[in-house]
């Protein structure tokens, strides 16, 4: 068991939330019971995740995409009301960590991917991403690695060189950073989502582009954070998968 405020202090410091100007409040978004024994984790807050968390009698829910966003209405109706009602009815704490969980050097979405792809000489890319060198490979080999790691079938624009060495990875909706990848002379860029203009940019910039899914590219971090919490504190942590093809 751990006290809510003790867990909050630890996570806020571990994920360095003070270093980020994010799109909504990071850390505790809804206060629940003080003592925490069971934690449910997930990528995006939704009714399905909360119902499953309540069914396992979770004391806290930790997600990447939370309930509160600066540019969204906070009028309590619709989906917002349903989600808030479930949290309050079951006295569950809600913690949310967005950009801090994309960029963290150990459990971050992009750090995890960088390790999986064997990235060397890595450095920051864009706001939360990472770039570096991988072992020289073909487009087909990199595609296979993307499919295997993210467990998805990415949308690809294969307009880069025959041999790939320098890549960038940025989880979520970072498709517009393809321009930065081109400026940096990279061979391939892996992110979550895609916009209409990206195909033309990839073709004209002679780069391979992979849209592996927003959800898929942001699963690794929250799972790793849950494992970290379970290893450090006497609590039970369960990842709840609510797949999203986007």
Distances (CA, A) of 218 to 38, 73, 145, 184: 22, 24, 16, 24
The correct CATH number of 2-98+219-239 out of 3.30.70.3040, 3.30.750.24, 3.40.50.2000, 3.40.1390.30 is 3.40.1390.30
Check whether 237 has a pLDDT greater than 90: yes
Residue 213's SS3 state is: coil
Q: Where are the alpha helices (DSSP H) in 108-174?
A: 109-116, 139-150
- The topology under which CATH files domain 109-212 is 3.40.1390
Q: Average of pLDDT values for 117-143?
A: 97
Distances (CA, A) of 128 to 19, 26, 174, 202: 12, 16, 9, 21
Q: pTM of the predicted model, to two decimals?
A: 0.96
Do 109-212 and 2-98+219-239 fall under one CATH topology?
yes
Please give the angle made by the CA atoms of 20, 17 and 215, to the nearest 5 degrees: 80
In percent, the amount of the chain with pLDDT more than 90 equals 98
The two tokens of residue 231 are 């290893």
pLDDT at 191: 98
197-224 burial string, b = 16+ CB within 10 Å, else e? ebeebbeebebbbbbbbbbbbbbbbbbb
- What confidence tier does 221 reach under pLDDT thresholds 50, 70, 90? very high
Q: Average of pLDDT values for 164-170?
A: 98
Check whether 95 has a pLDDT greater than 90: yes
Q: Which sequence spans correspond to the domains of the chain?
A: 2-98+219-239, 109-212
Cβ atoms within 10 Å, residue 1: 11
8 A C-beta contact, residue 129 and residue 177: yes
Please name the residues in contact with 62: beta carbons below 8 A apart, sequence gap of 6 or more: 11, 39, 40, 41, 42, 95, 96, 97, 222, 225, 226, 229
Check whether 73 has a pLDDT greater than 90: no
The residue behind tokens 């309590």 is: 76
pLDDT at 24: 92
């Amino acid at each position: 068991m751990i006290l809510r405020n003790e867990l909050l202090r630890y996570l806020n410091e571990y994920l360095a939330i003070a270093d980020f100007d994010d799109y909504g409040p990071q850390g505790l978004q809804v206060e629940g019971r003080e003592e925490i024994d069971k934690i449910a984790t997930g990528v995006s807050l939704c009714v399905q995740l909360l119902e499953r968390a309540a069914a396992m009698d979770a004391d806290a829910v930790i997600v990447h995409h939370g309930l509160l966003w600066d540019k969204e209405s906070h009028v309590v109706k619709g989906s917002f009301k349903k989600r808030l009602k479930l949290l309050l009815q079951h006295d569950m704490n809600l913690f949310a960590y967005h950009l801090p969980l994309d960029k963290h050097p150990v459990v971050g979405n992009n750090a995890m991917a960088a390790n999986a792809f064997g990235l060397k000489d890595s450095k920051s890319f864009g706001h939360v991403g990472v770039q570096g060198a991988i072992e020289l490979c073909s487009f087909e080999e990199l595609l296979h690695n993307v499919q295997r790691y993210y467990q998805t079938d990415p949308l690809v624009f294969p307009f880069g060189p025959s041999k790939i060495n320098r890549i960038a990875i940025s989880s979520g909706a970072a498709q517009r950073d393809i321009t930065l990848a081109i400026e940096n002379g990279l061979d391939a860029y892996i992110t979550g989502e895609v916009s209409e203009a990206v195909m033309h940019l990839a073709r004209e910039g002679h780069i391979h582009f992979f849209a592996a899914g927003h959800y898929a590219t942001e699963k690794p971090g929250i799972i790793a954070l849950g494992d970290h919490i379970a290893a450090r504190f006497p609590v039970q942590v369960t990842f709840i998968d609510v797949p999203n093809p986007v």
